[in-house]
Amino acid sequence: MSAAPKPIDDIGLWFQAFLQPTVLIELGVLLLAGFLAWGIATLARRSLSLQDNHGSVFFGRRVIDGALFPILLLCLAYVARALLVQSMPMAVMRIAIPVLVSLVVIRVGVKVLQIAFKQAPWVRALERTISWLAWLAMVLWVSGLLPVLLAELEQVSWKVGSSTMNLRTVIEGTITAGAVLILALWVSSAIESRLLRNVVGSELSMRKAVSNATRALLVFVGLIAALSAVGIDLTALSVLGGAVGVGIGFGLQKLASNYVSGFVILAERSMRIGDNVRVDNFEGRITDINARYTLIRSATGRESIVPNETLITTRVENLSLADNRQWQSTVVSVSYESDVELVMRLLLEAASSQPRVLKDPGPSVALSAFGADGLEFTVGYWLSDPENGLLNLRSQINMAILASLRQHGIDIPYPQRVVHLRQAT
């Protein structure tokens, strides 16, 4: 926009501009620009195969859901305005362009926040705040009151040390910082999506570390750039930086230790997303490694949030560091009169019949003990998918063993005790 409109002095004259015949031409041109923007966005979605893409800022669930459609419409409206402004007075375009600018700001801000913070409860309130501020700025611009309001805000000033600040500078600085942060989150989310696409295992953990470091760096650089753009002297933040350093050294050392430990875990790849680990008698599969904590999900569905410092300073059993194979066993007792070779063959067949049991190395059967009530056999086997459950596989093997032993008439003993009663003389 080349110049701000003058404040409204006569509402009647302002609405009278919409009664001119040229308004129909503006509406037709704006409608044509909408069709062109919709067509270009549709072709882009189909050519890039991005239908129903929830994780994209430009392309959403539908054509008009992403930010690409309002951006294209805004650009086409600017071009149309530049071509028509020399030949006719503008009425519709004076309102349409600020509305489209507000729509682009809302759509980009909301989509970036939804992608960067998918499940954060405060995102919805921040989205509403961005929408209200954008529409308020649009109304003030169209009515011509925005320059007047900014001039009044500039008169509200105060002195901080050797520098003088005013309310307009604070508001502009806040908006600039928010815009820079949204841009930084947008870039970091795009990098994270590209790095983590179709990646598993150790490579996933390493790329997760690179993604977290990139996001932190971009946000930090964005804040510095926003403060510089507003005119804040960054040397004045040295005292604040020293205070933060002292706070980290004393009160925030645990928090800082967790963040540093998280980057160490992701960098050295001693534990990776997807590994089965045992920490403090809690066994499960690592589902996510964040900067501060690691999320472990057990086979029963419970989730444990473990601080990263705990994973660095305490003993952790990684059951998947070498490979994903895990050994499991079950114990079976039979009577002493049973055929040992037949029992061992039946137990081996029952374990081998389960598809989840590995063939290499295959299952094994051993006469492990002479029990008080019968012979005890230990059936050992390997599996490669412990995340699908351990107890269910053991149950299936035990049921197959029980059916096989009953079919061949082999008794499973139960404890028996002989009680001698003495008669009193």
Q: Greater confidence, 62 or 286?
A: 286
Q: What pLDDT, on the 0 to 100 scale, is given for residue 397?
A: 93
Nearest to 220 by CA among 175, 253, 251, 188: 188
**How big is the chain by its Cα radius of gyration, in Å?**
35
Please determine, for residue 67, whether its predicted confidence score (pLDDT) is greater than 90: no
Nearest to 376 by CA among 387, 384, 362, 365: 365
Mean pLDDT of all residues in 31-59 = 75
Q: What pLDDT, on the 0 to 100 scale, is given for residue 203?
A: 57
- pLDDT band at 119; cut points 50, 70, 90: low
Percent of the chain with pLDDT over 70: 76
Please determine, for residue 4, whether its predicted confidence score (pLDDT) is greater than 50: no
Tokens of 20: 């001119």
Nearest to 68 by CA among 84, 82, 48: 48
Tokens of 13: 């004259």
- pLDDT band at 92; cut points 50, 70, 90: confident
Q: What pLDDT, on the 0 to 100 scale, is given for residue 64?
A: 67
Please determine, for residue 251, whether its predicted confidence score (pLDDT) is greater than 70: no
Is the distance from CB of 73 to CB of 100 less than 8 angstroms? yes
| CA pair distance 389, 326, nearest whole angstrom | 11
Q: What pLDDT, on the 0 to 100 scale, is given for residue 2?
A: 43
Q: What pLDDT, on the 0 to 100 scale, is given for residue 209?
A: 65
> Is beta strand 293-297 parallel, antiparallel or unpaired with respect to 303-307?
antiparallel
User: The pTM is what?
Assistant: 0.49
| CA pair distance 105, 286, nearest whole angstrom | 38
Cα distances (Å, whole numbers) of residue 297 to 29, 85, 282: 57, 63, 9
| CA pair distance 384, 125, nearest whole angstrom | 45
Is the distance from CB of 371 to CB of 329 less than 8 angstroms? no
Nearest to 288 by CA among 406, 417, 136, 118: 118
Q: What pLDDT, on the 0 to 100 scale, is given for residue 3?
A: 47
Mean pLDDT of all residues in 45-72 = 70
Q: What one-character-per-residue DSSP string does 225-265 give? A: HHHHHHT--GGGGHHHHHHHHHHHHHTTHHHHHHHHHHHHH
Mean pLDDT of all residues in 217-240 = 67
- pLDDT band at 163; cut points 50, 70, 90: low
Cα distances (Å, whole numbers) of residue 255 to 100, 261, 292, 309, 310: 43, 10, 7, 9, 12
Hey, which of 149-163, 198-212, 234-248 has the most confident mean pLDDT? 149-163
Q: Convert the pLDDT of each residue in 344-383 to its tens digit.
A: 999 999 999 999 999 888 899 999 999 888 899 999 999 8
- pLDDT band at 146; cut points 50, 70, 90: confident
Mean pLDDT of all residues in 323-334 = 86
Q: In b/e form, how buried is each residue of 108-144, taking b as 16+ CB within 10 angstroms?
A: bbbbbbbbbeeeeeeeeeebeebbebbbebbebbbbb
Q: Is 263 helix (H, G, I), strand (E, B) or coil?
A: helix
Strand ranges, E, within 136-275: 157-160, 163-166
Q: What pLDDT, on the 0 to 100 scale, is given for residue 322?
A: 65
Q: Side-chain half-sphere of 239: how many Cα atoms within 13 Å?
A: 2
Instruction: Note if the bond before 361 is cis, omega within 30 degrees.
Output: yes
Is the distance from CB of 373 to CB of 413 less than 8 angstroms? yes
| CA pair distance 73, 79, nearest whole angstrom | 10
Q: Which class for 372: exposed (0-12), middle (13-18), buried (19 or more C-beta within 10 A)?
A: exposed
Please determine, for residue 286, whether its predicted confidence score (pLDDT) is greater than 50: yes
Residue located via tokens 């503008």: 90
The phi, psi pair for 108, rounded to 5°, reads -65, -45
- pLDDT band at 398; cut points 50, 70, 90: very high
Alpha helices per DSSP H over 48-86: 68-84
Q: What pLDDT, on the 0 to 100 scale, is given for residue 125?
A: 77
Q: Which class for 239: exposed (0-12), middle (13-18), buried (19 or more C-beta within 10 A)?
A: exposed
| CA pair distance 160, 233, nearest whole angstrom | 12
Q: What pLDDT, on the 0 to 100 scale, is given for residue 249?
A: 63
Mean pLDDT of all residues in 166-182 = 77
Q: Which residues pair with 369 in a beta bridge?
A: 376
In the chain, what is the straight-line distance between the N-terminal and C-terminal CA atoms, in Å? 119
The per-residue pLDDT of the chain, averaged, comes to 77
